[in-house]
Amino acid sequence: MRDTTANEVSRIDTQVLAGRYRLLNPLAEGGMGTVWLAADEMLRRDVAVKEVRLPPDLPPLQRQDVFAAALREANLAARLKHPSIITIHDVVVEDDRPWIVMELLTGESLERTVTERRPLPPIQAARVGVGILSALVAAHAAGVLHRDVKPGNIFLTRTGKAVLTDFGIAVAEGDATSGQTSRLIGSPNYIAPERLRGERGGPYSDLWSLGATLYFAVEGVPPHPAETPISALSKVLTEPPRPPGLAGALGPVLMRMLDPLPVARPSFEEVAEALKEIALDRPAAAFPAPADLPGPSPAASTGPGRTFPPGRPARRDPGPRRGRALLWAAAEVAAVAAVIGATAAVVNLTGDRPAEAVPVRLSEKPGAFATPVDLCALLPAERVKQLLPALTGAGKPTNKGGCEWTTSGKGLSVQPAGSDGQWGKSPRQAHELFVNQRNAAIPNGQIAWSWPEISAGSRSARSTGPVAVRSAGEESFGYDVYENRRTGRLEQTYVTLRVDNLVVEVGYTVVDGTKDGPAIQSGARTAATWVAEALNKQKAAG
């Protein structure tokens, strides 16, 4: 992008946007524009204004795409309210361009602080991590993935607060990105390996990026130092992180966050607890390296910290070194494909997910559930009453081979997944069905549903993408459904789980407003655990 000339500054600094925001002087130059100090003459306060500027010879369609992306960034950030997320005050369209009005922060970016001064002590870096991790949790809860967590997008204020900025390439639930070609813009040093391979990624990808950012904060270099973006991309995909030398107690936490396997990364809760202890200069609990995990490839995970239940067959132990060496070797193939055609600033990758790896030792023979299971018999009414206190009878079979328990305003359902329920098929085939169900659970903002038996009329809703669910079957994931109109509250949570050769979906619905979001999520996951326990008992009984 061209520099702002003295004449341009002289001309622009007298400009008033929307009759109230007077541009004063430029504060910083970015990849797509300039951030200005401005005076809000209506509220009599100083603000920051992000100007989106492009070369005049850029084709009209590309200009429209960039401006649409800027408006999208503002809309995403404006819906997030958190002390460690930049506050968006207003969006102004002037001269056929968007101008984003933000809170004015005083301080410096983490990148500039470390580069121009020195790396942060581990305690200070942990404090930065606590704030940004909390911001990411808030963003993810609102259905937003940041996708560009890096030192340049973390601002350290003079009061000591860390603030997450720049949602320019974030994605929200409902975005139609699957199957489309997309561009990863930014430094590959801070992009999670699964996203460099072309996957959409998830909260666990933001966690990896935060780990890389905190690594830079204490070490002064990224975890995969390289001279060029192409070299960095190759190293992230094919090499382990450089062992930290200055991180102290923070080192084990960072190495877990930077695990190339999404399923091997710790949960957000585990990281938050460790960072809080380090930030308080207290000895953190041991943060062990993960065992050599059985199961899917890095592309197969659905969320941060996902673990496999104890009942999963263990593969022959190749030793942790050999296991990791196999991972790096496999990643080299992806690296070769990714590097071809890449440039120093932009990496072109497809958004399609790679083929799913089948967990080790899944049988091809018919599984334990060779005939249809009476799903109503899995949950006695007395147990279901814990979730539906007004229930007066047993569950009722559905025309799809499932079962449902209903009261006014609340409902619980257990349905076989897939068109034929996978009755009598093998665990391997059931795993493939499970993967298909999970891949189909993409964020969607255009859902219409009704359930007359619980007094739920026709409703407009939006669903989240898949999230990890622990201790429910041999594989499991969940997703939530929020009301689009009026309250925007969570009304349904679904958990899909696999036990042997059977895949079922458990749903808990509350539309009468008597349960908040966490209670609905907890109810669905509790019911899924009950179902998994009942199926395992049937399996053991033969």
Same domain, yes or no, for 477 and 340?
A: no
Report whether pLDDT(469) > 50: yes
pLDDT of residue 473: 86
48 and 132 belong to one structural domain: no
**Contact residues for 92 (Cβ-Cβ < 8 A; gap 6+):** 17, 18, 21, 98, 99, 101
* Residue 177, CB-side half-sphere exposure with 13 Å CA sphere: 21
Specify if 184 maps to a domain.
yes
Instruction: Provide CB contacts within 8 A for 394, sequence distance 6+.
Output: 376, 380, 381, 405
Residues 433 and 533 in one domain: yes
Quick check: is 22 in a domain? yes
Q: Which residues are catalytic?
A: 148
**Same domain assignment for residues 151 and 82:** no
Let me know whether 439 and 512 are in one domain: yes
Task: State which of 80, 103, 126 marks the end of a domain.
Answer: 103
Residue 1 within any structural domain of the chain: no
Pair (395, 525) in one structural domain: yes
Provide the CB-side half-sphere exposure for 55 (13 A, CA): 7
* DSSP character string of 88-100: EEEEEEETTEEEE
* Interhelix angle 229-238/320-339, nearest 10 degrees: 150
Same domain for 151 and 37: no
| 10, part of any domain | yes
pLDDT by residue (tens digit) across 176-196? Answer: 443 333 445 557 899 999 888
Whether 357 is in a domain gets the answer: no
* Count: domains in the chain: 3
Q: What is the mean pLDDT of the chain?
A: 77
pLDDT in tens, 235-283: 999 999 999 999 999 999 999 999 999 888 999 999 999 999 999 988 7
Task: Provide the pLDDT confidence category of residue 361 given band limits of 50, 70 and 90.
Answer: low
State whether 148 and 10 are in the same domain: no
Q: Are residues 66 and 151 in the same domain?
A: no
Residue 522 burial (CB count, 10 A): 15
Arithmetic mean of pLDDT, 67-72: 72
Cβ–Cβ under 8 Å, residues 346 and 184: yes
160 C-beta neighbours (distance < 10 Å), count: 11
Task: Give the residue numbers spanning the domain of 475.
Answer: 375-541
Q: What is the 3 state secondary structure string of 166-191?
A: CCCCCEECCCCCCCCEEEEECCHHHC
Q: Which residues contact 526 (CB under 8 A, 6 or more apart)?
A: 386, 387
User: Do 274 and 160 share a structural domain?
Assistant: yes
Q: How, if at all, do strands 171-172 and 162-164 pair? A: unpaired
Instruction: Examine residue 235 and state whether it is found in any structural domain, yes or no.
Output: yes
Percent of the chain with pLDDT over 90: 39
Assess if residue 414 is contained within a domain. Answer: yes
Q: Which amino acid is at 321?
A: R
Q: Does pTM top 0.85 for this prediction?
A: no
pLDDT, tens digit, 9 for 90 and up, residues 75-104: 777 778 888 998 888 888 887 778 889 889
Claim to verify: residue 297 and residue 424 sit in the same structural domain: no
Query: Which residue, of 88, 103, 118, is where some domain finishes?
Result: 103
Q: What angle do CA 297, 301, 304 make, to 5 degrees?
A: 130
Angle subtended by helix axes 122-141 and 268-279, to nearest 10: 150
CATH of the domain at 483: 3.40.1000
Supply the pLDDT for residue 169.
58
Q: Are residues 399 and 332 in the same domain?
A: no
Domain CATH number, residue 340: 1.10.510.10
Distance in angstroms (rounded) separating the CA atoms of residues 462 and 415: 21
Q: Is residue 361 part of a domain?
A: no
